[in-house]
Chain A
Amino acid sequence: MSADIPTLFLTAITSSLVLSAALGLVGSQKAMADLRPWALALLLHATGYALFALRGSVPLPVSVIGANTAIALFVALWLVSFAGVTPSRWLVYLPVAIVAVGCASIDDLPTRSMLVSTVLVFQEASLIALVLKCSRAEPGGWQRPGPLLMIVALGINLTITLVRLIALLAGVENAGGLTTRGTFQTLIFLTGTLTPMLVSIGFMMLLWDRARLRIEEQRQTLQAVFDNTEETIGMVDAGGHLLTINRAGAARFGTTPERLHHRHFNDFLPPDVATRRLALLARTFAEGRRQTIEDDRAGHHYQLSFNPIPGKTDRAVVFATDITERKRHDIEIARRMEELTALNTTLAATREQLLHAEKRAALGRLAAGLAHEINNPVSFVQSNLGSLQGYVDDLLEITDACAQAIAASNSAECTRIAALKAENDYDYIRSDIPALLTQSRQGLERVHRVVLDLLDFACEGRAEWDWADLHHGLEVTLGVLGGRVSAKASVVRRYAATLPQVYCQPAQIHQVFMDLLQNAAQAIAEHGTITITTAQPDSQHVRITIADTGVGIPADHLAHIFDPFFTTRPVGSGQGLGLAAAYGIVTAHVGTLVCRSEPGTGSEFEITLPLEAATPHPEENPT
């Protein structure tokens, strides 16, 4: 077989151009950018051969220098195509420079051919070394098809160039031999033309390998994240089949991912949970956006999200987080909050009771001081009235004796005294003196009584336990309230014939009576009736009922009337503490305080107290 020279050149040029175009096209994609210098190299290869082919048409120096330099540059570009392994700049550009300078300065063809061939041998050997170095650093080494193909093809090319160089040195080959070729030489030429194609294929395979490795690496990274996260990550199809799930997710079902793959929600979830999740999944696909849900399964609380994958209508990514602990914390915090609120309420109530006790103690001190101040003048006025009684008696006795003596003498004096007596209404004065003194004493007695009631009521603010007669307590309280109750209501007493004494804190119980009676009086708009009933429902309890004919309490207020600060009165007219304090006191006595009310008819407060809320002191038994 023999072919003419232009045809061979054309074959080489065409194959390089086609390969360059093909690789350039592939290299235009960003992921295959490594091919770009390679394609450029092939373009230079084609240029080089084209210049050779045009040797007759263009000036010789241009074609010779241009062609050889282009070929040298072509190999140099191959050298720099190996991303990751950067060859020395001397290795890349020095040969190109030597070729360019050599071709320009050497006129003798065999010498020039020898120089160019030597440089080519060097370049190709470098390329083989680089391929080996580069591929050894990657998994699989140089034995992979890609590097192997490159090495073999480059090896063939190197051998051809080497043989040619040896032939040149031996003077066997004619340096201008390109124009005179036999069949063998034609085959050699074609092989040499074919090698760039094979090297390119090898290089592409190498790049392919690299890309595959990179993808595998990324996949492994993602898999590591997927497998080691504590969140459940899975992928489902639109029908509710689990396509994949990570280990953490499978562990939550007590199994491995493989056993769950391709199973339907209904297969591994309780029916109610599966139904809810499937519904949400359907919505995820219908609306095309993320959906979240919280549900309970196997004693754990999960927060799930279904996330559609952009561009896929039948796949969604599922994330699930176990929020049991968080939920438990939330509940715990809520419980603590509740406890704090309760504590706050108790504190407020305690504070109110303390305040109340403080007020009572103040009242007690005031009452004691007042009693002392009032008792002093009352005592001497009362005593003086006694003395005055004696004096008046004595004086009257004397007056009577004088009158008799004067009457016996029957003188003018007698007439004058009689006139004086008549003028001053002597008989009336005499008869009125006892009444005058008695009434004055009674008045003082009343003042004294009020002071005693006040003292009794206040008990000097003490909270001591003692046996108490509650009828007496009610009377004392009514006495202290005086006009505040009697002005608003007539008090009807339905007292039990006998009521046993109750072991209690009398001062506190008086306070309860006071609060309830005041409340009853305030409930009455103009004038009404307050009925106080006492009874003994059983041998261990007494019951006191205070009923009024007032406005009553609406049903929705009834539940709150014993709450501190609950009041229906306008702001400023009452603190709303009375009933709360009363309730607290009765409860402290192990008793009950209940309210029944009918709006418009009136209210009824019923206190039930045990006879002995606390263990009485032995000496304090009632008599």
Chain B
Amino acid sequence: MNRILIVDDEPAVVAALQRLLKTHPCRYGKLDYRLEVETFNSPQQALDRAREASFDLVLSDYHMPGMNGIEFLGAFRQLQPDAVRIVLSGLADIDEITPALLDIDTRRFLPKPWNDSFLMACIAEALTLRELELERRAKQAAQ
């Protein structure tokens, strides 16, 4: 089971994503990931939860009250640096936030509205790459 954290201030978006992740297969090649999803409408609550539970991947909106997606992911990175960070936003221009995204070492940005299959493929790929990276690091540590 891979643990996924979803943060968006819009409950309907959270519900739609939850629905998608629950019903849509998450496959990368032969790898088929089973996902366990936790959702939050507030980035603050999500951070509180991140202090007690670990996640493999976090999917966050950009425009949220109190704290934007970059700030949230930056804080989340401090807690769980190995989790994959993805920004999902209806923001008009990605150029505007690209530097900030790079600052928090986040390379994935998905637009709203998203394509269901593409989103699932992205998650599967990100999880695979993460696993490979963790394995490589474990090997490196063992040597």
Contacts and interface: CB of A to CB of B under 8 A. Distances in A.
A386 interface: yes
Contacts of A376: 10, 13, 90, 112
Given A371-B90, A383-B113, 5 more contacts: A367-B92, A368-B93, A376-B112, A383-B16, A391-B23
Interface in A308-343: none
A97 to B, nearest CB: 124
A372 B91 contact: yes
13 contacts: A368-B91, A372-B92, A373-B90, A375-B90, A375-B112, A379-B90, A380-B10, A380-B15, A382-B113, A383-B114, A386-B24, A387-B16, A444-B113
A379 B92 contact: no
A380 B88 CA distance: 12
Interface string A376-411: 111111111011001100000000000000000000
Contact of A384 (B16, B111, B112): B16
A455 B92 contact: yes
A379 B13 contact: yes
Nearest to A384: B16
Given A367-B92, A372-B91, A378 B113 contact: yes
Leading 6 A-B pairs by shortest Cβ distance: A375-B90, A379-B113, A380-B16, A379-B112, A368-B92, A383-B16
B116 A375 contact: no
Q: Give the interface SS of chain A, mostly helix, strand, loop or mixed.
A: helix
B17 A383 contact: yes
A494 B91 CA distance: 35
Interface string A456-488: 000010000000000000000000000000000
A584 B53 CA distance: 60
A2 to B, nearest CB: 147
B23 A387 contact: yes
Interface in B123-138: none
A264 interface: no
Contact of A383 (B92, B111, B116): B116
Interface residues of B, number: 21
A347 B58 CA distance: 53
Nearest to B93: A460
A390 B25 CA distance: 11
B49 interface: no
A448 interface: yes
B20 interface: yes
Contact of B92 (A377, A390, A460): A460
B22 to A, nearest CB: 9
Given A371-B92, A375-B113, A460-B93, A380 B23 contact: no
A583 B91 CA distance: 33
Contacts of B92: 367-368, 371-372, 455, 460
Nearest to B113: A379
A477 B92 CA distance: 18
B20 A387 contact: yes
Contact of A372 (B12, B23, B90): B90
B2 to A, nearest CB: 20
Interface string B88-118: 0111110000000000000000011110100
Nearest to A459: B93
Taking each of B19, B112, B113, which has the highest tally of chain A beta carbons within 10 Å of its own beta carbon?
A: B113
B23 A377 contact: no
Nearest to B63: A372
Nearest to B90: A375
A12 B107 CA distance: 146
Interface string B1-42: 000000000101101110110011000000000000000000
A442 to B, nearest CB: 13
A543 B109 CA distance: 38
B12 A377 contact: yes
Contacts of B16: 379-381, 383-384, 387
Nearest to A365: B92
A84 to B, nearest CB: 104
B116 to A, nearest CB: 4
B63 to A, nearest CB: 6
A387 B112 contact: no
Contacts of A381: 16
Contacts of A386: 20, 24, 116
Contacts of B10: 376, 380
B130 to A, nearest CB: 24
Contacts of B13: 376, 379-380
B11 to A, nearest CB: 9
A65 to B, nearest CB: 133
Interface string A329-373: 000000000000000000000000000000000000001100111
Contacts of B113: 375, 378-379, 382-383, 444, 448
B12 to A, nearest CB: 5
A455 B19 CA distance: 30
Nearest to B14: A380
Given A372-B63, A387-B19, A379 B93 contact: no
Nearest to A367: B92
Contacts of A380: 10, 12-13, 15-17
A386 B20 CA distance: 8
